[in-house]
Amino acid sequence: DTGVSQDPRHKITKRGQNVTFRCDPISEHNRLYWYRQTLGQGPEFLTYFQNEAQLEKSRLLSDRFSAERPKGSFSTLEIQRTEQGDSAMYLCASSLGLADGYNEQFFGPGTRLTVL
Amino acid sequence: DAKTTQPPSMDCAEGRAANLPCNHSTISGNEYVYWYRQIHSQGPQYIIHGLKNNETNEMASLIITEDRKSSTLILPHATLRDTAVYYCIVRVAWANNLFFGTGTRLTVIP
């Protein structure tokens, strides 16, 4: 399967714990995106990478959130000191980094986080 | 990016055409209209996009009005597998994020 993969698919944690999610993009894609989706809402943009550089961050990405893409391939999203409001689906997407053209985003299946 | 307005829900009989409307009255000249859908418990899936002209692919057709202030996504022969939330998004081609809104929940009825 050459699609976007995410691990784990589900995570249950207690409030105050740290969690880390992984995303493996489509291999030739140099752009990677993180979104968050709460129940009944559409996905909301968090951040995106061009290769290993994090080029844009949403105001939704508080100081407790950190994302990395150290070698320009897979990415991790860490949430420190989780809060119940962090409970959501965390979606990863990737796209080709065409300089002046359309960049269709391909989404992974998501990681569902439940903070108790 | 311009905002879009979609009905919260629609039903369609299996085998019939599903016509999903979207209003984007503040769209600017360089903004495209994109459609994604999200089947339950899956990530969003790209369907189609267009600028001015009507577009068709193996999944759907996109009809954009001449003034570009609204569009319709057409699924020509809806199946039960088309039950999903459909998102209409307007954005410039080079934008890095997608603003999804709340979409239209399409239910295909047997």
Residue window 46-65, chain B: list those with CB within 8 Å of chain A: 46, 49
Tokens 């399409």 locate to B106
Q: Do B93 and A101 touch (CB under 8 A)?
A: yes
pLDDT value, residue A99: 61
Contact status of B87 with chain A (Cβ, < 8 Å):
yes
Q: Give the Cα separation of A93 and A3 in Å (integer).
A: 10
Q: Rounding to the nearest 10 degrees, give the CA dihedral for residues A103, A108, A109, A115.
A: -100
Give the nearest partner residue to A42 out of B45, B94, B100, using CB atoms: B100
Q: How close is the nearest chain B Cα to the Cα of A106, in Å?
A: 7
- A10 CB neighbour count, 10 Å cutoff: 10
Q: What pLDDT shows up at residue B92?
A: 83
Task: Over range A62-90, report the average pLDDT.
Answer: 95
SS3 content of chain A, % helix, strand, coil (to 5): 5, 50, 50
Task: Show pLDDT as tens, one digit a residue, over chain B (110 residues).
Answer: 558 999 999 999 999 999 999 999 999 988 999 999 999 989 999 999 999 989 999 999 999 999 999 999 999 999 999 999 999 999 887 777 888 988 999 999 99
| Residue B92, SS3 per DSSP | strand
pLDDT confidence bin for A63, thresholds 50/70/90: very high
B62 near B48, Cβ under 8 Å? Answer: yes
**Helical segments of B2-81, H only:** none
- Which pLDDT does position A1 carry in this prediction? 55
A107 and chain B in contact, CB less than 8 A? yes
User: Is the pLDDT score of A102 beyond 80?
Assistant: no
Q: What is the pLDDT of residue A45?
A: 94
End-to-end CA separation in angstroms for chain B: 37
Distance CA(A32)–CA(B96), nearest Å, equals 10
**How far apart are the CA of B24 and the nearest CA of chain A, in angstroms?**
17
pLDDT exceeds cutoff 80 at A2:
no
Q: Does B103 touch chain A (CB under 8 A)?
A: yes
Residue bearing the bigger pLDDT, B6 or A72: B6
Is A102 within 8 Å of B49 when comparing Cβ atoms? yes
